[in-house]
């Protein structure tokens, strides 16, 4: 009687993937291959910190030139509409114009809000790919896709602040279909909501969506076509939600 022993096949380790900088560059010029190694390697913290630092630096740099003039106009309108007392508006305006703590408060709010919004979007992506499509897709992978895909929005961020620096306001800066809307001053609730919704439909928003589709498909194994349908629907749903929030907080009839 003879015995045979089976020799286990050698396990070939998965490639580690590109470096953090290399992956960030691939997001722009080879997004389909930018996800190698993320199945076993955590890297979402790098693009999140990078985007946050850019936003914080630009906000602090443009605080006096862009944000303060916009806030002063809003408070003047509030006084004219009777929703704010002149003494209250004067006190608040002096604080934001002369107190260095005003910059810290504004930057701090952004530093908290931006990561929270990112975590929320990742939750929506996780739901769409992991539950709607039924793929094996962990929340951490959804967070990887959302954070790395957000890098393609940095050019729009720099361009927005460059235009706002010259005009001293963010009003009227649109890279989506909202550029087709007529100017309404002061904006109505409907106009504010439509602006947010249509701004999501533009070259930078679609670029972000395409990169996210490629990432979700690569990390979940789901067909790109199915991922594209689900993420497109969820993208529009999120845009509609943010539009409703903008309309709700806009004074008007």
User: Is 54 within the bounds of a domain?
Assistant: yes
Q: What local confidence, expressed as pLDDT, does residue 208 receive?
A: 97
Whether pTM exceeds 0.75? yes
Q: Which two tokens stand for residue 12?
A: 């070939």
- The predicted pLDDT at position 38 comes to 95
Contact 26, 33 (CB under 8 A): yes
Total tally of structural domains belonging to the chain: 1
Residues of the chain with pLDDT under 50: 1-5, 7, 9-11, 253
Residue 9 placed within a domain? no
| Structural domain contains residue 112 | yes
Domain extent for 219: 41-248
Query: Does the residue 30 lie in any domain?
Result: no
pLDDT at 1: 46
The verdict on residue 118 lying in a domain is: yes
Residue of 41, 29, 20 whose CA lies nearest to 214: 29
What's residue 252's pLDDT?
Answer: 62
Judge whether 2 and 25 are in contact, CB under 8 Å: no
Residue 175 lies in a domain: yes
Whether residue 65 contacts residue 165, with contact meaning beta carbons closer than 8 Å, is answered with yes
7 in a domain, yes or no? no
In a domain, 1, yes or no: no
Contacts (Cβ under 8 Å, ≥6 apart) of 201: 176, 177, 239
d(CA 152, CA 38): 18
């Amino acid at each position: 009687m003879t015995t045979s022993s089976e020799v286990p096949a050698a396990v070939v380790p998965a490639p580690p993937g590109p470096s953090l900088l290399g992956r960030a560059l691939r997001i722009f010029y080879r997004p389909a291959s930018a996800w190698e190694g993320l199945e076993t390697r955590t890297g979402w913290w790098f693009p999140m910190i990078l985007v946050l630092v850019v936003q914080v630096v630009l906000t602090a740099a443009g605080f006096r030139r862009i944000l303060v003039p916009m806030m002063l106009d809003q408070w003047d309108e509030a006084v004219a509409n009777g929703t704010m007392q002149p003494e209250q508006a004067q006190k608040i305006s002096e604080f934001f114009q002369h107190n260095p703590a005003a910059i810290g408060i504004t930057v701090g709010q952004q530093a908290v809000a931006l990561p929270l919004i990112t975590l929320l979007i990742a939750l929506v992506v996780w739901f769409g790919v992991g539950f709607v499509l039924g793929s094996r897709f962990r929340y951490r992978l959804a967070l990887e896709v959302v954070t790395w895909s957000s890098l393609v929005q940095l050019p729009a961020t720099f361009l927005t602040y460059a235009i706002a620096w010259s005009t001293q306001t963010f009003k009227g800066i649109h890279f989506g279909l909202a550029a087709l809307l007529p100017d309404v001053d002061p904006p109505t609730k409907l106009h504010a909501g439509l602006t947010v919704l249509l701004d999501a439909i533009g070259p930078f928003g679609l670029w972000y969506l395409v990169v996210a589709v490629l990432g979700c498909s690569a990390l979940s194994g789901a067909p790109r076509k199915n991922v594209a349908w689900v993420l497109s629907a969820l993208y529009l749903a999120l845009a509609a939600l943010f539009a409703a929030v903008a309309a709700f907080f806009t004074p008007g009839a």
